[in-house]
Amino acid sequence: MTHAIRTRALRYRASAHFEISDLSLNVPTGAVYGFLGPNGSGKTTTVRLVLGLLRPTSGEVAVLDEPMPRNTASVLARVGYVPERPHLYQTLTVAEAMRFHAAFHARWDQRWAAELAAMFMLRGNARIATLSKGEMGKLMMLLALAQRPELLVLDEPTDGLDPVVRRDMLESVLGYVAEHRATVFISSHLVHELERICDWVGVMDRGRLVAELPMQTFKDGIKRLYVSGTITDLTSAPFVVLKREREAGSALEEWIVRGWESGMQSHIESRGASVREVIDLDLEDGFVEMLRAARTPATVEA
């Protein structure tokens, strides 16, 4: 498997109170990779490190098989980027912003840029200063897509936008991916939005990568179990226990597990306990439980 983005033991100290620690990302070529995490978890800092906008304290970054930040110029010529905060000159019109960006990108597709502007209902004579948040988001996506990138990096691209605008933008991304087999790295805290479009997911929390796995594995493998009996040693379990607790007076323990598959009840039963119920969690519940487990070791309460 080749990787459009790959980091190894990446570290960066953003302040006395926060750092990216030992970050090893693997974004498969051709994937739509959802980079999940709460606000302040380090997603935007990671994006800037990947794109050479920040220099790591230590570690390695490779983007499209080129080392970063050493080859920033040649890499960014192949990357479309929608930052968390727009960076366009407010006095330009939409048409002027398109011509300005076209001058910097040899692969700019003027015909497709015009088609995107029509699809997004962006008026060429509209001043950027007068655009709504949704219109600004559409323009930023247009500028990233019209340069025909091999890698599209989106940092919270739909945050604060209404559902119709979000749907239009994401459909344009998926259409581009289907046609050009590009890779998409999309950072967001909107879990349900990524569930619909991503085939890989990485979960970030407090500067650390908590998990990285195929989206379907993430969705299917996190379960809530109700277990009768008590098991003290789970070191050899074929799944990961994210949480264990027993309410006062209850005969059952509640477990949240990751990596669960059909037939794993036998492992629990072989240790003298039994699984009374297995409940699917939706993606958001699984995401929340994974973050809680990363912050607090699994415990059993009497």
Neighbours of 65 (CB within 10 A): 12
The 3-class SS string of 224-245 reads EEEEECCCCCCCCCCCEEEEEE
* Residues forming a β-bridge with 208: 205
pTM for this one?
Answer: 0.88
Residue pair 237/267 in contact by the 8 Å Cβ criterion? yes
Digit-by-digit pLDDT tens for the chain (302 residues) are: 899 999 999 999 988 889 999 999 999 999 999 999 998 999 999 999 999 999 999 999 999 999 999 999 999 999 999 998 888 999 999 999 999 999 999 999 999 999 999 999 999 999 999 999 999 999 999 999 999 999 999 999 888 788 888 888 888 899 999 888 999 999 988 788 788 899 999 999 999 999 999 998 888 888 999 999 988 888 889 998 888 898 888 889 999 998 899 899 999 999 899 999 999 988 888 888 888 888 875 444 43
Listed by start position, the domains of the chain span 3-217, 222-295
Topology of 3-217 in CATH? Answer: Rossmann fold (3.40.50)
- The closest alpha carbon to 185, from 152, 217, 211, 209, belongs to 152
Q: What pLDDT, in 10s, does the model give residues 119-166?
A: 999 999 999 999 999 999 999 999 999 999 999 999 998 887 888 888
What is the secondary structure of 128-151 as a DSSP string?
GGG--HHHHHHHHHHHHHTT--SE
